């Protein structure tokens, strides 16, 4: 059945891939964004499609649409972006969730919410199952994002219990791929940009901290399955393949044929999680979902995309990259 679907943060990295899939499936898609960390180029190719509409709006302000489903992705996601204006980050998560849920209540829409592995903070349980309540520093530099996302989860479940709103809360782990902002300061974009230009690859700390990287196409499959499925979440969506940041640097150098050196550019940032790996038992069982693109393959595709873009067309959203 064709649905009317609102995607907040729809011009961003994940949002633009999601809009592609929804438009391709024939749905009537409204892409809403304030373009803080993205640009229209991500969805330029969709502008001529009759079932796609692009709207500039900030989710901290109320919004009125007549839709069947909402994907709530609006929020800066890279540490450098969300720490640039931390008060705005909390407002985006919390007021954004309130406005999206108020809209959902009025029109009886189902809401998919993009939460994050950051709700686990610097985890003492490894890998992280959904039952783990996390180890978040509520007053540190990452708190605006982590606590904002935790409060948004609370709002999702309270609107569900109090107002019967249908919710789907996904806890997304590190995801990469084409259309990441080349100046977002995230590790994959930094390393690829540095490798392709022959600059030093900047390890923060000694590079022994770990992350588990999911290719974007796999993740978006998970979004669509979760929205269609019956489980409200919270549900981990990510790739359980775990790598040290140094291993990632070595892989990027090998795949891009770069001559860059790996250097320890600075100490590990405050509250930077030492390890992160999703337990995806729930998603496997409830959605029959698991990622299929291994890191070396996804990195290859991402490097090819970075090779094809003109960096001069990308304005760094913040100085933090
Ligand atoms: P992104 O920065 O590319 O996309 C976020 C989008 O939201 C951007 O287009 C930005 O301009 C928009 N936005 C920010 N504040 C807004 C506001 N106040 N009003 C309207 N639009 C606003 O990041 P992404 O990686 O695509 O992340 C999308 C969502 O997924 C975020 O909510 C993020 O927290 C979540 N997430 C992403 C990852 C990941 O690894 N990519 C991991 C965990 C969670
Ligand atoms: N990192 C790094 N060099 C960089 C950028 C990031 O070593 O140029 C590290 C960062 O300290 C963290 C990991 O890579 O340990 C992942 O960082 P990212 O900003 O991508 O996302 P996070 O998972 O921390 O939100």
Average pLDDT (266-279) is 97
Q: What percent of the chain has pLDDT over 70?
A: 100
pLDDT at 73 over 90: yes
As annotated, the active-site residues are: 145
pLDDT at 321 over 90: no
Per-residue confidence band for 263, with pLDDT thresholds at 50, 70 and 90: very high
Per-residue confidence band for 110, with pLDDT thresholds at 50, 70 and 90: very high
* Ligand 1 centroid – CA 92 distance (Å): 10
Average pLDDT (95-102) is 98
Residue of minimum CA distance from atom 13 in ligand 2: 187
Do residues 168 and 112 lie in contact, with contact meaning Cβ atoms separated by under 8 Å?
Answer: yes
SS3 of residue 74 by DSSP: coil
Could you report the per-residue pLDDT of 3-59, keeping only the tens digit for each? 999 999 999 999 999 999 999 999 999 999 999 999 999 999 999 999 999 999 999
* Ligand 1 centroid – CA 58 distance (Å): 12
Residue of minimum CA distance from atom 17 in ligand 2: 187
Which is the closest atom of ligand 2 to the Cα of 268?
11
Could you report the per-residue pLDDT of 162-203, keeping only the tens digit for each? 999 999 999 999 999 999 999 999 999 999 999 999 999 999
Do residues 75 and 84 lie in contact, with contact meaning Cβ atoms separated by under 8 Å?
Answer: no
Which is the closest atom of ligand 1 to the Cα of 36?
11
**Top mutation candidate among 9, 55, 65, 145 for ligand 1, by most atoms within 8 Å of CB:** 9
Per-residue confidence band for 159, with pLDDT thresholds at 50, 70 and 90: very high
Q: Which residue intervals of the chain are DSSP H helices?
A: 13-24, 79-82, 86-107, 143-163, 187-197, 216-228, 245-256, 281-287, 295-308
172 lines ligand 1 (CB under 6 A): yes
209 lines ligand 1 (CB under 6 A): no
Q: What percent of the chain has pLDDT over 90?
A: 98
* Whole-angstrom distance, CA of residue 17 vs CA of residue 10: 8
Do residues 135 and 190 lie in contact, with contact meaning Cβ atoms separated by under 8 Å?
Answer: no
- CA 2 to chain CA centroid, Å, is 26
Could you report the per-residue pLDDT of 195-245, keeping only the tens digit for each? 999 999 999 999 999 999 999 999 999 999 999 999 999 999 999 999 999
* Ligand 1 centroid – CA 77 distance (Å): 5
State the distance between the two ends of the chain, measured CA to CA, in whole angstroms. Answer: 43
**Of the candidates 308, 307, 193, the residue with the CA atom closest to the CA atom of residue 252:** 193
Domains of the chain: 4-175+214-237 (3.40.50.720), 176-211+241-274+293-313 (3.90.25.10)
Do residues 236 and 278 lie in contact, with contact meaning Cβ atoms separated by under 8 Å?
Answer: yes
Average pLDDT (259-263) is 98
13 lines ligand 1 (CB under 6 A): yes
Do residues 241 and 294 lie in contact, with contact meaning Cβ atoms separated by under 8 Å?
Answer: yes
**Top mutation candidate among 119, 186, 268, 269 for ligand 2, by most atoms within 8 Å of CB:** 186
* Whole-angstrom distance, CA of residue 8 vs CA of residue 103: 12
**Top mutation candidate among 76, 92, 98 for ligand 1, by most atoms within 8 Å of CB:** 76
């Amino acid at each position: 059945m064709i649905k009317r679907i609102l995607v907040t943060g729809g011009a961003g990295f994940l949002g633009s891939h999601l809009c592609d899939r929804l438009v391709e499936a024939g749905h009537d898609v409204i892409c809403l964004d304030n373009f803080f960390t993205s640009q229209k180029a991500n969805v330029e190719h969709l502008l001529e499609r009759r079932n796609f509409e692009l709207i500039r709006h900030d989710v901290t302000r109320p919004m009125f649409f007549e839709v069947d489903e909402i994907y709530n992705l609006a929020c800066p996601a890279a540490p450098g972006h969300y720490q640039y204006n931390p008060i705005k980050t909390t407002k985006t998560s919390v007021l954004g969730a309130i406005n999206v849920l108020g809209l959902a209540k009025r029109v009886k829409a189902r809401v998919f919410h993009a939460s994050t592995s950051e709700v686990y903070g610097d985890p003492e349980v490894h890998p992280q199952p959904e039952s783990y309540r996390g180890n978040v520093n509520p007053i540190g530099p990452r708190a605006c994002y982590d606590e904002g996302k935790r409060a948004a989860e609370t709002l999702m479940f309270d609107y569900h219990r109090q107002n019967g709103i249908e919710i789907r809360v996904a806890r997304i782990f590190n995801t990469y791929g084409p259309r990441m902002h080349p100046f977002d300061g995230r590790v994959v974009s930094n390393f690829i940009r540095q490798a392709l230009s022959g600059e030093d690859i900047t390890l923060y700390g000694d590079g022994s901290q770990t992350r588990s990287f999911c290719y974007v196409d796999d993740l978006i499959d998970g979004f669509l399955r979760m929205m269609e499925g019956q489980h409200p979440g919270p549900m981990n969506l990510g790739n359980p393949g775990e790598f040290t940041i140094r291993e990632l640097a070595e892989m990027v150098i090998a795949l891009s044929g770069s001559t860059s050196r790996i250097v320890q550019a600075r100490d590990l940032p405050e509250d930077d999680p030492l390890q992160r790996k999703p337990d995806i038992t729930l998603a496997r069982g409830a959605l029959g979902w698991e990622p299929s693109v291994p890191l070396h393959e996804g990195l290859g595709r991402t490097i090819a995309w970075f090779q094809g873009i003109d960096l001069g067309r990308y304005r760094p959203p913040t100085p933090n990259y």
